[in-house]
């Protein structure tokens, strides 16, 4: 069942959301300091392609550099991707069949 859900998700919303993460990751990789954060954006792109049956685990490591780049991500890229997830979730929730996909879009919006 997960495979069917992932294939439908990929066709309905996953490819566009993954492209937005990948483009954001490429842009943030332009700076040398941003490369680790670009790599994380690429990981989120893969997650947004095939989300059913996966989970995200937050690592407790970090510091002021992580906070700074999280704010930079939020200002430059995060809000746009967040809105993309919200719009995709609302459009998917229009039909009864699309509700599980809409819920998945809302879960992924928190990561953006």
Band (pLDDT 50/70/90 cuts) for residue 32 is confident
Give me the mean pLDDT over the 53-81 stretch.
Answer: 76
pLDDT value of position 24: 86
- 18 vs 33, more confident: 18
- Report the b/e string of 52-76 with b at 16+ CB within 10 A: beeeeeeeeeeeeeeeebeebbeee
Rounded Cα gap, residues 64 and 75, in angstroms: 17
| Model confidence at 1: pLDDT above 70 | no
Nearest to 69 by CA among 24, 4, 13: 24
pLDDT at position 96:
86
How far is it, in rounded angstroms, from Cα 76 to Cα 6? 29
Structure confidence at residue 9 (pLDDT) = 78
Q: Count of CB atoms within 10 A of residue 47's CB?
A: 18
């Amino acid at each position: 069942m997960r495979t069917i859900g992932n294939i439908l998700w990929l066709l309905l919303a996953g490819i566009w959301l993954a492209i937005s993460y990948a483009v954001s990751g490429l842009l943030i990789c332009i700076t040398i300091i941003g490369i680790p954060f670009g790599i994380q954006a690429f990981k989120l792109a893969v997650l947004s392609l095939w989300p059913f049956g996966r989970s995200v685990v937050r690592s407790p490591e970090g510091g002021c550099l992580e906070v700074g780049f999280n704010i930079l991500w939020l200002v430059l890229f995060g809000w746009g991707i967040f809105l993309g997830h919200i719009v995709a979730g609302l459009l998917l929730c229009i039909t009864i069949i699309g509700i599980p996909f809409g819920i998945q879009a809302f879960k992924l919006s928190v990561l953006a």
